């Protein structure tokens, strides 16, 4: 079963850039199920005591979709050579403090299925 | 922006049925999935494509979606089902989560 693991700084200063990496193990980030659209790779965050917020995703084709409220500050990219995908969030504030999750979803028949594999999450605090 | 509305909390007695609703404009035209999140843990997909259960998810979890409302039903609720549940759908290639429903098994 594929596994995901988030990594990156746990503390970032306000106005700086938050950078996280998700390493995919026991599977290839480039592969997908036969006769399907493959997988998409997502980032989701959760402030303490609050709900889930979708940040964005990247498809195997390289296409990206972002939460409109974060779009101007977010970049998601893939590094197939290292079997990783990453998140960059610029100009962070205290409101960006959260647990950040990476996750995998399945594309089939042109439809985006749910996120069936999640990392354990990494806590990022924005503070000087 | 598209919004999904869930009740903040649902209480259920052990062995009874819990129903969690998720409402959104023309939600029935979209595929809905549901996640279970126990305290301190990552979310787990329990329903996708409105009604389908991933491998390993007990049969007591079922889903439906019609009109403006999707529903997650837990039949024969067990103490281990106490958790937060989130619905999720796609709107214009953007993922949207509901605010979450805390299910308490009394």
Beta-carbon neighbour count of residue A74 at 10 Å?
18
pLDDT digits (tens, 9 = 90+) for B55-98: 999 999 999 999 999 999 999 999 999 999 999 999 988 999 99
> Rounded to an integer, what distance in angstroms lies between the CA atom of residue B42 and that of residue B35?
10
pLDDT value of position B14:
97
pLDDT value of position A38:
83
A87 has a pLDDT exceeding 90: yes
B34 has a pLDDT exceeding 80: yes
A90 has a pLDDT exceeding 50: yes
Closest residue by Cα to residue A59 from A32, A19, A82: A32
Query: In chain A, what residues touch B96 (CB-CB under 8 Å)?
Result: 54
Query: In chain A, what residues touch B42 (CB-CB under 8 Å)?
Result: 101, 118-121
Nearest CA in chain A to B57: A116
Quote the tokens at residue A99: 């647990």
pLDDT value of position B92:
87
Q: How confident is the model at residue A37 (pLDDT cuts 50, 70, 90)?
A: low
> Rounded to an integer, what distance in angstroms lies between the CA atom of residue A99 and that of residue A51?
11
> Rounded to an integer, what distance in angstroms lies between the CA atom of residue A79 and that of residue A97?
25
> Rounded to an integer, what distance in angstroms lies between the CA atom of residue A50 and that of residue B23?
19
pLDDT digits (tens, 9 = 90+) for B53-65: 999 999 999 999 9
First to last CA, chain A: 39
């Amino acid at each position: 079963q594929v596994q995901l693991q988030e990594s990156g700084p746990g503390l970032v200063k306000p106005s700086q850039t938050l950078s996280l990496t998700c390493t995919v193990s026991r599977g290839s980030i480039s592969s997908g199920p036969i006769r399907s659209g493959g997988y998409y790779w997502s980032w989701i965050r959760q402030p303490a005591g609050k709900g889930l917020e979708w940040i964005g995703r990247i498809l195997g084709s390289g296409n990206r979709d972002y939460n409109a409220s974060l779009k101007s500050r977010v970049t998601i990219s893939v590094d197939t050579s290292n079997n990783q995908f990453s998140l960059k969030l610029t100009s962070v504030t205290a409101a960006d403090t959260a647990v950040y999750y990476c996750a995998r979803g399945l594309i089939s028949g042109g439809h985006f299925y749910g996120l069936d594999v999640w990392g354990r999450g990494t806590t990022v605090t924005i503070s000087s | 922006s598209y919004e999904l509305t869930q009740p903040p909390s649902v209480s259920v007695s052990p062995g009874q049925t819990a129903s969690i609703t998720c409402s959104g404009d023309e939600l029935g035209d979209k595929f809905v999935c549901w996640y279970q999140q126990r305290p301190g843990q990552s979310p787990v997909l329990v329903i996708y494509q409105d009604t389908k259960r991933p491998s390993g998810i007990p049969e007591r979890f079922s889903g439906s979606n019609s009109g403006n409302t999707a529903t997650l039903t837990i039949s024969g609720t067990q103490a281990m089902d106490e958790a937060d549940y989130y619905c999720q759908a796609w709107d214009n290639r953007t993922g949207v989560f509901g605010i979450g429903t805390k299910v308490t098994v009394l």
